[in-house]
Amino acid sequence: MNTRKLRDLIGTKTLLLITLFVSSLFFLIFILLLSRSLLVLESHSIIEVLFSSIWNPDAGQFGLAAIIVDTILVTGFALLIAIPISLLSAIYIVEYAPRRLRKTIRPFIDVLAGVPSVVYGLCAFLFLAPFVQNVIAPFFGAQSTGLCIFSAAIILSIMVFPIIISLCIESFDAIPLSLKEASLSVGATKWETVKKVVFRASAPSIIAAILLGFGRAFGETIAVNMVIGGTIRLPSSLFNPGETLASLIASKYGELMSIPLHESALMLVALILFIVVFLFYILGFLTLRRAKKRWKY
């Protein structure tokens, strides 16, 4: 074997080892979280943990029902806001915006995706929370400190915008031009073409974008933790303070990690987050791959 082939073989095997190492991190994290969660699962059934609404570690109660409800409310309301705005923004950028404006807008969207979540959280704490307290909550006849589920959902929706917009733009760009031209040639307007051709043809990619956005929203920590209020109870209003699974870990990490059972409970919360986010990313990835195969030929 000559030197060139030897170098090529060594390089290939090295790249393989690096790839296997990166891939194994998923399983290592899963095994670590699972092993550290066993202590609390030995004394509390998973049913009790998931369906009890009482979180009182000092009394040995680790119910996550109220926290799960808050997480679903924050994530769901954030996506209700983010999905239509993101879709319409992507449609405008792809179908209506002049080429120069499109090239100007895209970098700003990419930058928004990379802004640290703590920056979003700080802006929400300083400006959004007082606005909710003084304007939005009174408008709906409610009282609020501004640190509530509503504020967390608003800032989360803003953080999800660039993810869904970028993925939708890619899916709209991938639609064959012949489909749009065929629609326009039979007398359809631009908007009718968007509704009947673009949306239908890119439906799998849109679903994938929403699923990936859900994964980002479900696991967001710092920004949500700064404005959600940190109260663990079943909410009666969006203007009530709450707690999500991710923000619970951030807020309780310091005070609970010194006690093994409490630490195990937080590790179980982290494991639940890990599994849910992984499942939604897998669903999004499979849907996106199906969409790409659809237009491969």
Confidence class of residue 43 from pLDDT cuts 50, 70 and 90?
confident
- In angstroms, the CA 209 to CA 207 distance is 5
Q: What is the pTM of this model?
A: 0.84
pLDDT of residue 297: 45
Burial of 16: CB neighbours in 10 Å, binned 0-12, 13-18, 19+: exposed
Q: How confident is the model at residue 239 (pLDDT cuts 50, 70, 90)?
A: very high
**pLDDT > 60? residue 296:** no
Using only C-alpha atoms, the chain has a radius of gyration, in whole angstroms, of 23
Domain 65-294 fold: MetI-like fold (1.10.3720)
Distance of CA 77 to the CA centre of its chain: 12
Mean pLDDT for the chain overall: 85
**What is the pLDDT at residue 250?**
83
Give the model confidence (pLDDT) of 255-266 as tens digits.
666 778 888 888
Q: What's the pLDDT tens digit per position in 160-182?
A: 888 888 888 888 887 877 777 78
Question: What is the distance between the alpha carbons of residues 233 and 245, in angstroms, rounded to a whole number?
Answer: 13
H/E element, 62: strand 61-62
Q: What totals of helices (H) and strands (E) does the chain contain, helices first?
A: 15, 2
Each residue of 108-166: pLDDT tens digit?
Answer: 888 888 888 889 999 999 999 999 999 999 998 888 888 999 999 999 999 888 888 88
Q: What percent of the chain has pLDDT over 70?
A: 95
Average pLDDT over residues 52-62: 83
